[in-house]
Amino acid sequence: MKAVVCPFCGFGCKLLIDEKTLRVKPYPGEPNRGKLCPKGLHATEFVLSKNRLKRPLKRVGSAMVPVSWGVAIDEIAGKLLEIRVLYGPDAVAFLASSKVSNEENYLLQKIARLFGTNNIDNCARLCHEASVHALKMTVGAGAQTNPYGDLENFGAILIWGYNPAETHPVIMDYILRAKRKGAKIIVVDVRETRTMAFADYRLVIRPGTDIALANAMMNVIIREEFYDGEFVRSRTSGFSEVKMAVMKYTPKYAERITGIPAETIEKVARIFALAGSGAIMWGMGLTHHVSGVENVLAVVDLALLLGYIGERGGLYPMRGQNNVQGAAYLGALSEFLPGYVPLTDERFRKRVASLWGVDDLPTERGLYLTELWEAIESGDVRALYIMGENPAVSEADFAQVRKALKKLDLLVVQDVFPTRTSRYAHYLLPASAFCEKSGSYMNSERRIQWSERVCEPHADSKPDWEILTMLGRALGLSGFNYSSVEEITAEYFRLFPELEERSVEELKNSDGIFLPKKRLHTWEFATPDGKARLMAVEQIGPWEVPDKDYPFVLTTVRLIGHYNTGEMTLRSPSLVKLMGEPRALISEKDAERLGIADGDWVELETRCGRIRMRAKVGGVPEGVIAVPFHFKANRLTSSALNKAGTPEFKFSACRVRKVRT
């Protein structure tokens, strides 16, 4: 059996796959320790789908006709070069993928920058880019600080806007081990989640009021002197500003904003502070707001006040896709080079340029993924190359995205399946699935793991790295003479001082290599002065608020059997059966008032659009409607952006009516 990294969530489970039957067994080592969730157990079903792309396709009129690889790549390269001559390199944009390997993301961002543009981004922009920005501002490194194993040793775990029991089920084993050792589990969310069933303290918060709660907890901690004075004095700056900012956020004041009783806020603040060590884990419930960066700053402040860093605690922004951490770390972001190094860092930029055989690289920030659609509408971007992403479904207010895709002079989609996005493509390139190629992936804890090739590529599909190698050569770029994926691994290893002495063979024969190291900030922070920066923040309201016309708050949630835009899970019979029909959650009181029964069809409408789906009564507080992420949901979600360029997926004003059938 071959060891393969699971193609689903960012936890990074490894699977053992039988080469003949493609049956899956759990890997006994780290990080999943012999456990898998339903998606992992059925991970190979979509690979066997009859809907796989089989050969390169080119649009001729309204039809897509087969062409050879040579013709497709030569024509695509010719059109990209023509657009660069006519409009400049920034008229071209590239979208990398959180579902393909480190090597493949590294190659696409290398192509973009050697082509002359920093218009390279990936769907990290839609999830934890707010966390990256906040963590860079405070502790100097935009990633999870600790390995999963540390969770078992902390006295408290604060889970905020995150539902691991459904989104990262295997990590619940670590959390429950901690609970059995006496750790207190505190969960903050806008609804009763599966994770709350395992919590000691359950705080159901009004949507969009996270800063008020975090500030109120800090108010209690500072007022009652539970904070770590020595840590704050010696290892942080900015304490006086935070102290002043949180003074007005008394528990009583926060109760009016958050809906959480003042006595509960006080109790939870004391429990978390007196635990002696603790982790804060968060997800899209914090980042998918216009206040996303500030939300994360607030919870980081809370951890720093208590000295919950290094061996005494950790910050866990839990990643959603299997290689979203790797895609971002390997440079598939428009404002960062590999390693989250800013484009303006001349020393590192020259290091990268030298490795690639050129004098320098472009320094102007490229377009965020979420800025791209307006740039296409305005004519600033004429060509788009998409690898393994489906923005026609995954983007907020996707009607705008679909309109923009129609305007492109050139759209290339490289994927395993035909998608909603590929309907607009001029060229469609068939990529191999996860188990049909080798490569490395980085999970949420920054563990790089090797994934083995199990079977031959389907039909005439090719691994993404092979397609990109062909494209790089056709574009006339230097350094694209790769004959194996291991050569690309060795090249990106040379970028990072921590990996220079490590070998690909070492990676293959281990449970992974942490980059830059297993645990961050134990002795000093990755900031210029080695100190963390406490950043005072105030409560920030959502982009729009409910009113008489749109009286509900619409939020999005994830399901255990569904993954992103469904291209993989909806082609897995076992997962389709597990998931069932997606439904809109509505409270009992709201359902009774509107005459809605469980299973009734309802119409949901926001200022962006409307959809219909069946209702499920219960599971949310009054005034809130929760719909499964993606499916049709992003016809409704607001495209308002936070400072990191992430849309406000978690808060849209909405109205609901029963549909008579």
**Longest Cα separation, the chain:** 71
Q: Are 386 and 18 in contact (CB under 8 A)?
A: no
Q: Do 154 and 176 sit in the same domain of this protein?
A: yes
In CATH, what number is assigned to the domain containing residue 118?
A: 3.40.50.740
The domain boundary residue, chosen from 467, 494, 514: 514
Q: Do 75 and 190 sit in the same domain of this protein?
A: no
In CATH, what number is assigned to the domain containing residue 219?
A: 3.40.228.10
Q: Do 500 and 584 sit in the same domain of this protein?
A: no
Residue 661: the pLDDT is: 66
Let me know if residue 62 belongs to a domain.
Answer: no
Q: 3-class DSSP state for residue 429? A: strand
Alpha-carbon span 398 to 638, nearest angstrom: 10
Residue at 344: amino acid letter: T
Let me know if residue 259 belongs to a domain.
Answer: yes
pLDDT tens per residue, range 265-300 = 999 999 999 999 999 999 999 999 999 999 999 999
Taking residue 660's Cβ as centre, other Cβ atoms within 10 Å add up to: 6
DSSP H helix total and E strand total for the chain: 23, 28
Let me know if residue 525 belongs to a domain.
Answer: no
Q: Do 410 and 509 sit in the same domain of this protein?
A: yes
The domain boundary residue, chosen from 318, 352, 385: 318
Let me know if residue 349 belongs to a domain.
Answer: yes
Q: Do 217 and 290 sit in the same domain of this protein?
A: yes
Q: Do 392 and 297 sit in the same domain of this protein?
A: no
Q: Are 310 and 519 in contact (CB under 8 A)?
A: yes
| Per-residue CA distances from 40 to 23, 206, 483 (Å) | 11, 33, 31
555 has pLDDT over 80: yes
Taking residue 66's Cβ as centre, other Cβ atoms within 10 Å add up to: 12
Q: Do 133 and 117 sit in the same domain of this protein?
A: no
Residue 565: the pLDDT is: 87
Nearest C-alpha neighbor of 390 from the set 346, 356, 428, 335:
428
Alpha-carbon span 506 to 348, nearest angstrom: 26
Q: Do 354 and 463 sit in the same domain of this protein?
A: yes
pLDDT tens per residue, range 408-445 = 999 999 999 999 999 999 999 999 999 999 999 999 99
Residue at 379: amino acid letter: G
Q: Do 411 and 493 sit in the same domain of this protein?
A: yes
**pLDDT averaged over every residue in the chain:** 97
Let me know if residue 564 belongs to a domain.
Answer: yes
Q: Do 357 and 396 sit in the same domain of this protein?
A: yes
556 has pLDDT over 70: yes
Residue listed under structure tokens 């793991």: 449
- Our count of domains for the chain comes to 3
Alpha-carbon span 40 to 20, nearest angstrom: 18
Nearest C-alpha neighbor of 3 from the set 508, 584, 625:
508
Residue 620 is part of which domain span?
552-658
Residue 119: the pLDDT is: 98
Q: Looking at 96-228, which runs of residues are DSSP E strands?
A: 120-121, 156-160, 184-189, 201-204
Alpha-carbon span 213 to 161, nearest angstrom: 12
Write out the H or E segment, with its range, that includes residue 552.
Answer: strand 552-557
Alpha-carbon span 332 to 296, nearest angstrom: 22
Alpha-carbon span 208 to 137, nearest angstrom: 22
Let me know if residue 356 belongs to a domain.
Answer: yes
At residue 496's C-alpha, the angle toward residues 511 and 144, to 5°, is 60
Nearest C-alpha neighbor of 661 from the set 608, 609, 600, 573:
600
| Per-residue CA distances from 78 to 62, 71, 474 (Å) | 22, 10, 8
Q: Do 295 and 339 sit in the same domain of this protein?
A: no
Q: How many residues does the chain have?
A: 661
Reading the block at residue 621, the tokens are 């507080």
Phi first, then psi: give them for residue 356, nearest 5 degrees: -90, 0
pLDDT tens per residue, range 457-496 = 999 999 999 999 999 999 999 999 999 999 999 999 999 9
Let me know if residue 526 belongs to a domain.
Answer: no
Strands 410-415, 383-387: pairing kind = parallel
Alpha-carbon span 171 to 444, nearest angstrom: 11
Torsion, Cα 113 115 117 119, to 10 degrees, reads: -80
Q: Do 556 and 490 sit in the same domain of this protein?
A: no
Residue listed under structure tokens 């759209």: 411
Residue 630: the pLDDT is: 67
Nearest C-alpha neighbor of 20 from the set 1, 4, 48:
1
The domain boundary residue, chosen from 281, 297, 318: 318
pLDDT tens per residue, range 40-95 = 999 999 999 999 999 999 999 999 999 999 999 999 999 999 999 999 999 999 99
Phi first, then psi: give them for residue 369, nearest 5 degrees: -50, -40
Cα Rg for the chain, rounded, in angstroms? Answer: 24
pLDDT tens per residue, range 386-397 = 999 999 999 998
pTM given for the model: 0.97
In CATH, what number is assigned to the domain containing residue 608?
A: 2.40.40.20
Let me know if residue 651 belongs to a domain.
Answer: yes
